[in-house]
Chain A
Amino acid sequence: MVDLAAAGSAVALLAGSLDAWLWVVPGLLIGLVFGAMPGISVSMAMALVLPATLYMEFLPAIIFLTSVYTGAGFGGSVPAVLMNIPGTSSAVATTFDGYPMARAGKHNEALGLALVSSCLGVLGSYIVLFFLVQPIAELVLRIGPFEMAAIAIWGMVLLGSLGGKSLSRGLFAAGIGVLLGTVGMNTAGYLRGTANIPELLDGIPTIPAMVGLLAASQLFGLVNTHFLVEAEEDRQISLSRIVAGGMMTFKHPRTLVRGSMIGALVGAAPGVGSSISNLLSYAEARRASKDRDSFGKGNPEGVIASESANSSSEGGSMATMLALGIPGGGATAILLAAFAMHNVVGGPRFMDQNRDIVYAIILSNFAQAVLLLFVGTAFVYCASSIVRLPLRFLIPCVLVMATMGSFAMEGSIAGPMTLFVFSVLGWLMSSAGYPVAAVVVGLLLGRLIETELLRAWQLAGGDIGEVLNHPWALVIIALMVLSLGFSMWQDSRRRRVEDITAG
């Protein structure tokens, strides 16, 4: 499966090109900084540096762009942990446990965890890519509407009761999210709930809505607090604690591997991959854990699950881009545009004829994952100094940043307006005891489920029996039922044991 001759010449290609290395660290740094700014997505960061690559050779240009990709992929988790702002939709699940950890004074550990899981996720996914680029691409291509709908339903079922003490409130919040997610034109071309506002044609702008729900609503709740971390002795920025946090990752190898697998496979699905893979991985980690109640309150496993999945999505989407020429998302679309700028057409023929270049890109990403560990450590060390900033300065700064970011994201006032509306909604809901995270999950997954189910229905021509022709969808649903049943059985047994010991 590995073309050794091509791999050899890839090594030679990399070793002989100083240019190819020169751009890795600047690329990572640019990615980290832009990725950490709320409102600048991975693809925007890449689009910003795209013009510069026109003047580079092909290989250095692509390596530079993938460095930005890798850096920005992790950069998004820094504000997720420190400020509860998911920089991108792929860092949503990181906020669930990362932010509670930061509030409890474990910001060093949380960032260390996120960094190491991200590096391992990137590394893992590219190792898989190195050996299996073609099979992965083929597998992803097979994920049709039935299979995708099954995966999304799995995520929705697992996350339905997210973070809620009361199931009914969780379901209500998720329902609101699903309803809001249906605004706009659906995949069959029907307009719904746009109230004649042209900005809503493509649906509610997701990222400003998410930032509003998760971050801004949180910040209002912090008004009477002086610092993000209450206890003064916890407010330190410590390299050793970042490293210790990083080491903690290795205590949960199963979560890490599971997250990376989900990321590489689901994350590779064109269009929606990385924003669902982190949620799914988080939900699975929560389901598999013995200590389910601690999720959402600062369980390190939650951070590992989310970060390993969102970073391994990079390798997955690179597989479909390299082997099939399909851009799975904004980032790979920009990579393909960079290919085109250098007069290279991505796709199967490029793969066949330039195996050495493909391997060089993959090998360089191994190096990027390792370098990210160091550049990232320095970066989070600096970034975590915001815990020392009094909240009376921090909150306005974050709000201004979020507003500017949402403007940049949408390119119009529609972004800040969405942010404002959803901040108020988020604040009202959280002060009434509804889990806002469930609204976000509904918003993200609801639209996906609807789109895929609609296509499945169209494909079946209204015949429910058609699902029998899609065994993999059935396998996914069966796995879901089995794993849920198993957890419930385990729960009831544990409760019985507890009852006996207590009694």
Chain B
Amino acid sequence: MTVRCTSISRRSVIAAAAGTALAAPLPLRAATYPERPLTILVPFATGGYNDRYARAIAPFVQKHFGQPVVVQNRPGGGTMLGNMFYLQQPDDGYMVMVHSAGPFIPLSVLTRNAQYKVEDFWMINLPSRDATLVACATSKPFTSIGDVITQLKRDPRSVSVGIQPASADLVNLALLMQGHGIDRSRMRVVTYDGGGPARTATMGGHVDIGLVGGEGFLPVKDRIRPLLVFSNEKNEDFPEAPLSTDHAKASGFAPEYVDGSQRGFVVSRRFRDRAPDRYQIMFQAIERATKDPECVAALKAQQLATTWYGAEASNEAYLRSASLMEKYVDLLKQA
């Protein structure tokens, strides 16, 4: 089982690395495509954002794709199992992923020795961006990020921080501490395996502050105090939270940050290269579905993102955050 898995993914890696040169002309003509149902693969369990997004947009993709659309969940290993499974599928254009591509794909490569590369995946559109939020329970004494920094500067051990190990949030924490010259190794960092537990710990006051994706805090907005959001534009959900870029400029360090989550439709680069006709058809179906006014209304009603950024902007955002994570890979490994 293992041997088979690794050998196939290694083969696919080599194939992808060699690019189109190696790829023999495949009998994949667009004339009959699509003639079978399309599967949306979600590398997470049911009930999360990606799952909800996939299920909500599925009927509209179906409408524009012209074939039934089914959603399949394949969670595990921080999306690594789903990613490996996806790369093993034929490039026939009958499977597409809905994924938190950033940060999960780069993280699995950097911290879990995944047998694929960040560039093996190609973004169609990443409408949902969830920024890391620094927050504390309303019972905590902090009223601004300044309070937290002052106390940390006085004694790095005085504030406990709840966070997910090997996450975009951790990179952001590291950047913030580096900027302020605070020794992170002396801080009390408490690790949680999942955004949910990290939020519960923040909300319940088990930790003094938490760094975790802001969106999940929406239902419990009244119980937390947002202190800082890692972004360069105002957060719609937490408009009162100051921006990390402003904070960095005011404090005199580089305003760098990584996006907490970049979610949306993802295919393999290999599929795009080998079956460009099919890729175009799939791409257009997803674009039309995303822009469909009915779809926009339906998704908005479920608090799901609907923006169309397109492939170019989405890939750029994905690769930018991946390279930032690569740059700070050492920070990720010392949780």
Contact = CB atoms under 8 A, between A and B. Distances in A.
Interface of A: 43, 47, 50-51, 141-145, 185, 187-191, 195-199, 201-202, 270-271, 324-327, 330, 333-334, 336-337, 340-341, 343, 345-350, 411-414, 417, 451, 454-455, 458-461
A327 B51 CA distance: 15
Contact of B200 (A270, A337, A417): A270
A333 B77 contact: no
Contacts of A341: 52, 55-56, 302
A333 B46 contact: yes
Contacts of B15: none
A348 B78 CA distance: 30
28 contacts: A142-B204, A144-B204, A145-B190, A188-B191, A189-B335, A191-B112, A195-B2, A196-B2, A196-B113, A197-B2, A199-B77, A201-B78, A201-B112, A202-B77, A271-B197, A326-B199, A330-B45, A340-B52, A340-B303, A341-B56, A341-B302, A345-B218, A346-B219, A347-B220, A412-B81, A417-B1, A455-B191, A458-B188
B200 A326 contact: yes
| Interface band, chain B | 35 or more
A141 B207 CA distance: 12
A10 B199 CA distance: 31
A458 B189 CA distance: 6
B47 A333 contact: yes
Given A189-B191, A189-B335, A198-B77, A325 B220 contact: yes
Contact of B302 (A333, A343, A412): A343
Nearest to A325: B219
Nearest to B73: A411
Nearest to B218: A345
Interface of B: 1-2, 5-6, 45-48, 51-52, 55-56, 73-74, 76-78, 80-81, 84, 111-113, 157, 160, 165-166, 188-193, 196-197, 199-201, 203-204, 206-207, 218-223, 301-303, 335
B55 to A, nearest CB: 8
A270 B196 contact: yes
B223 A145 contact: no
B196 A327 contact: yes
A337 B52 contact: yes
B46 A43 contact: yes
A202 B108 CA distance: 13
Contacts of A50: 46
Nearest to A343: B301
Contacts of B303: 340, 345
Given A141-B200, A341-B55, A343-B301, 7 more contacts: A188-B165, A189-B335, A195-B2, A199-B81, A412-B81, A458-B188, A460-B188
B219 A347 contact: yes
A437 B256 CA distance: 52
A413 B2 CA distance: 11
Nearest to B166: A189
Nearest to A46: B46
B108 to A, nearest CB: 9
Given A199-B81, A333-B47, A345-B219, A189 B111 contact: yes
A83 to B, nearest CB: 27
B206 A144 contact: yes
A350 B74 CA distance: 31
Nearest to A346: B219
Contacts of A414: 1
The winner among B56, B113, B166, B200 for most chain A CB atoms within 10 A is B200
B51 A337 contact: yes
B257 to A, nearest CB: 21
A123 to B, nearest CB: 27
B144 to A, nearest CB: 23
Nearest to B158: A461
A337 B47 contact: yes
Contact of B188 (A188, A202, A451, A461): A461
Contacts of B81: 198-199, 201, 412
A348 B165 CA distance: 29
A394 B199 CA distance: 47
Contacts of B46: 43, 47, 50, 330, 333-334, 337
A239 to B, nearest CB: 38
B20 to A, nearest CB: 28
Contact of A187 (B45, B77, B111, B192): B192
Nearest to B164: A189
B2 A327 contact: no
A98 B204 CA distance: 38
Nearest to B78: A201
Contacts of B160: 458-459, 461
Contacts of A185: 78, 112, 193
Contacts of A334: 46-47
Contacts of B56: 341
Contacts of B218: 345, 347
Contact of B190 (A141, A271, A455): A455
A350 B219 CA distance: 8
The winner among B46, B73, B78, B112 for most chain A CB atoms within 10 A is B46
A334 B51 CA distance: 11
Contacts of A145: 190, 206
